[in-house]
Structure 1
């Protein structure tokens, strides 16, 4: 399959590569997000030394890196079997043959945290070499890793020897929905939305679905069967990143089933609030859970966390904990058909409702950047108080103008009463100047279409065709 998406990420990396001075760029993000594939794409047509670190000893790592260096033309292979230290190995980077066109050498360290795990002095070694020689060399060095909290706390923070040395920091995010659905070019818009609701924007998960098979067949074959990689993916990832996976399972499951506040999650898991808070922090660092605040919340209010709600930021985790984890006994006996027919098929559109809301918010950001909204949005998210909730809300710079939206992933068309309900909810936000956006899978009734078509109407109707327009990239 052709490489999909990452135009902005590749463009920013290319800008670094073309810069005059030496480059030390950090690229990081959660596992499966596509870092290695993106760096492979970036390195095409460049003279590249690409070192993929393994979870091994310092000696094994040095031996592998030494072989790679000597194959790339580094001097010393006639009398050296391997470099005796990382200092001697990295100092030789400046002696690698330069490209014939006088361009820049690209050096990529993939999964760099594995190297630091085997030799904690490595950041200090790299810092010293960077300060004295590497920064003046015709090199672009890329430090890549999946251990996000390690990179942020141990390599980029103020206490790190490498603090302030980075010339670029790229935190890679899941693909936006308009790139994610390119994995299924022949799907209907409804099936594209369903696939995104199930898999999210993680390329590794999107690749598992066969674009020539229907969504139902893909769920049955590529998620529910024991042999399918996605069947075991969540457990593998948690075991790789965390201890006490049983307790993390309980926390994630509680959120997947609708527990959003700390108290609710603690009650459902029967664990103390402080323990749950610690687990939630770790899950947020992994990009699995996020904390959400009303879009109108002030910075001070967010710091106190009084109104923050927890939710799963990963669509596939939410699907797995909703439809795989509870029915493992049946699936272990290969009762795939019954699990799908009884538990997934009747609930799939309701399940897709929340991811559909997020999709609509992404669309609003894209429209704002393209200057297609009544104003340029400063913030886009959800809004709620104790009794009312709005699916989508965008605010302008002054916070005195808003777009409020309702999202329905249902076959029935939206009608005028839904607009009236949205107007009523919006009246409680305290913002006077508002536009009303309605997003619908099933389209809209004629009376609602007439209201939106009226001159100077403050109502806009957005169907799937517009959300998945061909130019949405």
Structure 2
């Protein structure tokens, strides 16, 4: 399969590789986000030793690494069957034959947390060798892992032996929508938006859909069927990363049903607020849930633990908890056609409304970076008060200018009444200098297009424009 996206991540890794001094780079992110594929792509054309750790004993891990080192020409191959410990193994990195092109050697430890789990002394060993020998060698060492909390708390925090040694830290996030939809080059713009609304920006999920099948057939074949990997993906990840999965299921399901405040989630799950807050923190660390504040909220308000609204930040988790989790009994009997026809087909566009708004906010960031907004945006998000909401809002650093947007993923064109409603809501934000942008799946009525032609403070963005390249 052709490698898609990750240009910025690859560019930053390449900059590290071409630096004058030795590099110790940490690459991490949630499972399925594409770390291994990105590092594989990065390693092309480079003299690379790529070690993929597994869940095994320290002896088994060391034996596998020894074989890899000996195949790469490590001198110890002439007098050892296996390195006795990690210190001797890692010391030999500086004695590997020089690459044929005279360039830098790339060393990748994929799923490094597995190695530390089998031998907790490894970070201290690596720290000692880095301080005394490895940082003087012509090497780039990449430490990669999916256990995000472990990487952040046990390898990068102040208490870790490796604290302060990293020359680069790359946290990989899901693909932006404009890269994600490249998995479906022949889809219409509408179907691209639907596919992204269902799968999000996780490459492993995007690969599961067949670009030659319709959205409906893909949902039935690759999500609702019991044999499909995506059918059990959420449960697998939850069991892999979290304990008390039944309670976490209740929390995520509560958010999927519309519970957005801490009190609402607590009431729905019948779990005390403090306990729910702890669960939400763990889900946020995994990138499954996100806490939102109005885009104009001050730092003091954002610091309050009980404030903000929670939403599912992973599109596929949101789909799974909306349409797989509640209908498991029917799906276990093989009734994927019935579940799709009764519960999904008629509401799929409504479901896609929230991800479509997120796409529009990403588009706004892209426009800001390209200098196509009236100002450089300092914040982009949603805005709301007790009775009003604005889907997309970009504000400048002073908080005195804003671009405000309304998003509609519907089968009918937008009309002038929606602009009037947006202007009315905008008048309650306290921001004087305002311009507007309307996003629509199905275009705009002619009267609204005429307004856009004559009003410099109004932009109309159709679905095709969201997928146009910069």
**TM class, shorter-length:** over 0.9
Shift, 1:80, TM fit: 1.1
| Alignment correspondent of 2:157 | 157
Shift, 1:457, TM fit: 3.0
| Alignment correspondent of 1:54 | 54
| Alignment correspondent of 1:228 | 228
Q: Are positions 1:215 and 2:238 aligned together? A: no
CA distance in 1, matches of 2:274, 2:120: 31
| Alignment correspondent of 2:466 | 467
CA distance in 1, matches of 2:96, 2:292: 48
| Alignment correspondent of 2:400 | 400
Q: Secondary structure at the match of 2:227?
A: coil
- Contact 1:400 1:433 (C-alpha < 8 Å) held by counterparts: yes
Shift, 1:384, TM fit: 0.8
Q: Secondary structure at the match of 1:109?
A: strand
Following TM superposition, the consecutive aligned residue runs of length 4 or more in structure 1 with deviations greater than 3 angstroms are none
* Cα-to-partner distance string for 1:284-343 (whole Å, 9 max, x where unaligned): 111111111111111121111453111111000000000000000000000111100110
Aligned residues between the structures = 470
CA distance in 2, matches of 1:231, 1:304: 37
- Contact 2:262 2:306 (C-alpha < 8 Å) held by counterparts: no
| Alignment correspondent of 1:364 | 364
| Alignment correspondent of 1:378 | 378
CA distance in 2, matches of 1:341, 1:216: 9
Q: Secondary structure at the match of 1:25?
A: strand
| Alignment correspondent of 1:349 | 349
- Contact 2:184 2:192 (C-alpha < 8 Å) held by counterparts: yes
CA distance in 1, matches of 2:315, 2:295: 21
* Cα-to-partner distance string for 1:186-241 (whole Å, 9 max, x where unaligned): 00000000000000000000000000011111001000000101001001111111
CA distance in 2, matches of 1:61, 1:203: 28
CA distance in 1, matches of 2:186, 2:307: 42
Give RMSD over aligned pairs. 0.8
Tell which deviates more after alignment, 292-301 or 225-234: 292-301
CA distance in 1, matches of 2:450, 2:261: 41
Tell which deviates more after alignment, 152-161 or 130-139: 152-161
Shift, 1:154, TM fit: 0.7
| Alignment correspondent of 1:133 | 133
CA distance in 1, matches of 2:303, 2:66: 48
| Alignment correspondent of 1:26 | 26
* Cα-to-partner distance string for 1:258-279 (whole Å, 9 max, x where unaligned): 1111111111111111111111
CA distance in 2, matches of 1:255, 1:91: 50
- Contact 1:408 1:439 (C-alpha < 8 Å) held by counterparts: yes
- Contact 1:451 1:457 (C-alpha < 8 Å) held by counterparts: no
CA distance in 2, matches of 1:446, 1:307: 42
| Alignment correspondent of 2:80 | 80
| Alignment correspondent of 1:266 | 266
Structure-1-length-normalised TM-score: 0.98
* Cα-to-partner distance string for 1:340-386 (whole Å, 9 max, x where unaligned): 01100011000000000000000000011111111111110001111
CA distance in 2, matches of 1:292, 1:120: 37
- Contact 2:26 2:144 (C-alpha < 8 Å) held by counterparts: yes
